[in-house]
Copies of this chain bind each other. A is one copy, B any other.
Amino acid sequence: MNAAYPLKNDLILRTLNGGKVERPPVWLMRQAGRFLTEYKEVRARAGSFQNMIAYPEFAAEVTLQPVDILQVDAAIIFSDILVIPEAMGLPYEMNPGEGPFFPNTIRSVSDIDKLRPAEDAANLEHTYEAIRMVKQELYGRVPLIGFAGAPWTIFCYMTEGGGSKSFSKAKSIMYREPAMAHRLLDLITDATIFYLQNQVAAGADLIQIFDSWAELLDGPTYRAFSLPYIRRICEALPHVPRIVFPKGAFFALPDFQHFPCEGVGLDWHTNPSEIADLLPEKVLQGNLDPSALYAHPDQVRQMTQNMMRSFPQGKHIVNLGHGLHPDTPRESVLAFVETVRSSSFVS
């Protein structure tokens, strides 16, 4: 744990560590994003999405924006889950409005053998430098979240080459060549462990693992191809609170009961009170539908209050059930955060 500056607002850490809190903490997935004109301004200066990650000054600037503008209770370092496959040897392109694209993908065991060793791959010094800069600028105002993609999700991109409706290539390898799939998942896991350990060493106060493509699987395949790798990552990071977001994996939520993480992210399809019964020891994070922020701010306040009531008091980190849409009205995001900040638990 980096304790250079004592934290003035440690709501999210207290919640994850099982301490008492006066209200739930709030942050938003993609809070540093295109819905902020200030973000778009930096994006224009940087010239590209990838430059924003590669130059610590840009990454640090956009990481801090939502703390200043929205007054959320945590910052999350600006980066992308795809920096790991890139560092392993598969560069990707980011075309506006189209999502990521990998010109080269993994098709065979020999493609895996050509990848860079895990420790070299995790040599993402620009991100660690951005974390150090953000920590300094924050000066203890709020904690900083480090993150990475879950190995299964990274595997999907490395084999498929981009987004897809059915991820046929990724799933074809999983079903036809499970040994090859496990070999690649293992290597991604090693790189991710180094990467997150370095983020923590640089100052990240807690970490989140995004399993964005959990939703492609079912219970048995999730237990075989995703959960064991997330478990290994979590076990390698015992000294910071860990949140896992298995998006769309309603079928696997009961598996998190005895899982080495403090928090579990819920997508907006999930009924929080049902999951609170299943996972009484976990802190739950989520889960307003990001599309609900298209509503009028008054409706947003109402829906946010309703959502908060469906979570267990004191064991909830308020967030959306998925990342913010780029065209979300700013006033709705402000209404969302303000509703949480002005709430208080009856003691």
**A residues neighboring B (CB under 8 Å):** 163, 165-168, 171-172, 174-176, 215, 217-219, 221, 248, 250-251, 268-271, 289-292, 294-296, 299, 325, 327
Contacts and interface: CB of A to CB of B under 8 A. Distances in A.
A220 to B, nearest CB: 9
Counted per complex, copies of this chain come to 2
Given A166-B325, A176-B296, A250-B250, A171 B269 contact: no
Contact of A294 (B172, B295, B325): B172
A168 B291 contact: yes
Given A172-B294, A175-B292, 14 more contacts: A166-B291, A166-B325, A167-B291, A168-B294, A171-B289, A172-B291, A175-B291, A175-B299, A176-B295, A217-B269, A218-B268, A218-B289, A221-B289, A251-B269
A34 B165 CA distance: 16
Contacts of A215: 269
A268 B251 CA distance: 11
Contacts of A165: 163
B327 A168 contact: yes
A291 B216 CA distance: 10
Contact of A166 (B217, B221, B290): B290
A176 B328 CA distance: 13
6 tightest Cβ-Cβ pairs between the two chains A and B: A171-B291, A172-B294, A175-B295, A218-B269, A250-B250, A175-B294
Contacts of A251: 250, 269-271
A230 B214 CA distance: 29
Nearest to A303: B175
Contact of A271 (B219, B248, B289): B219
A289 B216 CA distance: 9
A251 B289 CA distance: 14
Nearest to A217: B269
Nearest to A222: B269
30 contacts: A163-B165, A166-B291, A167-B291, A168-B291, A168-B294, A168-B327, A171-B289, A171-B291, A171-B294, A172-B294, A175-B291, A175-B292, A175-B294, A175-B295, A175-B299, A176-B294, A176-B295, A176-B296, A176-B299, A215-B269, A217-B269, A218-B268, A218-B270, A219-B271, A221-B289, A248-B269, A250-B250, A250-B251, A250-B269, A251-B271
